[in-house]
Amino acid sequence: MSELGIFLIVGLLVLLALGVPIAFTLGILTVGGLWLADVDLVMLAQRVLAGTNVSSLLAIPGFILAGDLMSAGGLSRRLVRFAAALLGHLSGGLSMATVAAGTFFGAISGSAPATTAAVGSVMIDEMEKRGYSRGYGAALATAVGPIGQMIPPSIPMVVWAVLAEESVSKLFVAGVIPGLLAAAGFVLVSYIYAKRNKIPTDRRASARELWDAVREGFWALLAPVVILGGIYGGVFTPTEASMVGVLYGLIVGLFVYRDLKLSDLPELLLRSMRTTAVIMFIIAMAYGFAWLMAAEQIPTQITAALLSVSDNPVVIILLLNLLLLLLGAVMDNISAMVILSSVLTAIGTQIGMEPIQLGAMVVINFAVGMATPPVGYSLFVGASVSGLRLETVARHLWPSLLVLLGVILAVAFIPPVTTWLPEVLVSRGG
């Protein structure tokens, strides 16, 4: 490896260890690398502009704002009420309702931290009142968060589609079955926990109560149908769908549920702008860094080193998943995807993995990283909304993490888990 390559790799590790924000880390290293290589710094500006000048990335601010509007507009609270009315009478029913509400909200927001915040802020207190430990409730809300990045409209799926030049629609659909598998696993964990801890069940909701919950939650339940049905029905593109989601959340929040006030909009817009700015800044800097690494042929060298360990595809896939899990636990997922995209696609090609399967595997691994220490964003959110220490929440996470690891293995070694549905819904639908 060249001196410049060593500078980039070592510099990345050192600056991350020192706690320098990832965007600044990538920017500093790119500027330093260009200076060492005696390349005009104008090249950095060109790469940054090239990295952000991709139309598919316009879906990101749209889905972020749509998720914020729907959360503030009362959609998450009504989803929770509907799920509780439907499942509350079962053993572990309230815990199952948390999983169901998180899955539904994930199909609205596309964000792991947003899903954890929306569900956890409502359900953790309720679960504690019904006999669940607060740590378990916080851990479940944390674990449910990553489903928001598996199922559409997943923001990381959009980013990977742009990086790998794959269909956004196909990648969206590829995450549906893994997301449902994760939800089913969490339901099983909920049932076992309730039985072992003798959690009392609620009375079965009457037909009237169930109807009231359906009627009140109708517009919230309709949101994923409108957004996803429009995409796969060919009515609008994923980018257009994000704007439809914004309009839908605005109308429902202001005029149907009336939980949203015009006076709330400036703060919501500012919050969404901050989140979008952070993501886009990371992407821009990461593109410059990734270009410099590619110029030094570092991805090729890493690929060759990994493939030299074994020629067995099973071993390589296991090593790849281990690498992704470790990186997801210590690094922002979007920047990691941008930096490693060329390496991962090269490895995927070498071992004959379907591009859609590879993309889903990468995104889901990094989604799981959102719930794992030390820097999992959903873990921080779960600890924040519950008022518990990070270590306490992490200690209750292990059953849910086993479920998520099982999903990763299914995605990695059973191709139809991620490829069958895109072939059926997207390829045939045009």
Sequence-ordered list of residues with C-beta below 8 angstroms from that of 157, at least 6 positions apart, any chain: 149, 168, 171, 172, 174, 175, 359, 360, 363
**Of the candidate ranges 123-127, 289-293, 346-350, 386-390, the one whose mean pLDDT is the lowest:** 289-293
Contact 320, 351 (CB under 8 A): no
Mean pLDDT for 54-82 is 76
Question: In degrees, to the nearest 5, what angle opens at C-alpha 168 toward C-alphas 246 and 155?
Answer: 50
pLDDT in tens, 199-224: 887 777 788 888 888 888 888 888 87
pLDDT at 420: 92
Evaluate whether residue 38 is within a structural domain. Answer: no
pLDDT of 374 above 70: no
Evaluate whether residue 49 is within a structural domain. Answer: no
pLDDT in tens, 413-429: 999 999 998 888 765 54
Evaluate whether residue 422 is within a structural domain. Answer: yes
Contact 178, 157 (CB under 8 A): no
- Joined tokens for residue 135: 């740590």
pLDDT at 429: 47
Write the burial class of residue 425 (CB in 10 Å: 0-12 exposed, 13-18 middle, 19+ buried). middle
Tokens 């539904």, residue located: 104
For residue 371, give the nearest of 388, 386, 393, 338 by alpha carbon. Answer: 393
How far are the Cα atoms of 70, 82, 412 from residue 169, in angstroms, in the given order?
22, 29, 20
For residue 162, give the nearest of 65, 245, 50 by alpha carbon. Answer: 50
Higher pLDDT pick, 56 / 254: 254
* 387 Ramachandran zone, left/alpha/beta (phi>0; psi -120 to 50): left
How far are the Cα atoms of 17, 132, 331 from residue 359, in angstroms, in the given order?
28, 37, 18
* Helices within 88-167 (DSSP H only): 93-109, 112-129, 134-144, 147-150, 155-164
Best-predicted range by mean pLDDT among 61-70, 91-100, 199-208, 412-421?
Answer: 412-421
Buried residues in 40-79 as b, exposed as e (16+ CB within 10 A) = eeebbeebbeebeeeebbebbbbbbbbbbbbbbbbbbbbb
pLDDT at 77: 75
Residue 195 has a CB neighbour count (10 Å cut-off) of 11
Evaluate whether residue 44 is within a structural domain. Answer: no
Global confidence as pTM: 0.77
pLDDT in tens, 268-283: 899 888 877 877 777 7
Contact 358, 345 (CB under 8 A): yes
How far are the Cα atoms of 77, 126, 231, 257, 302 from residue 122, in angstroms, in the given order?
7, 7, 30, 17, 45
CA atoms of 85 and 83, how far apart (whole Å)? 6
pLDDT of 50 above 60: yes
Domain that holds residue 85: 56-427
Mean pLDDT for 232-252 is 82
Evaluate whether residue 42 is within a structural domain. Answer: no
Evaluate whether residue 154 is within a structural domain. Answer: yes
- Joined tokens for residue 147: 């489903």
Evaluate whether residue 250 is within a structural domain. Answer: yes
Evaluate whether residue 22 is within a structural domain. Answer: no
Domain count, the chain: 1
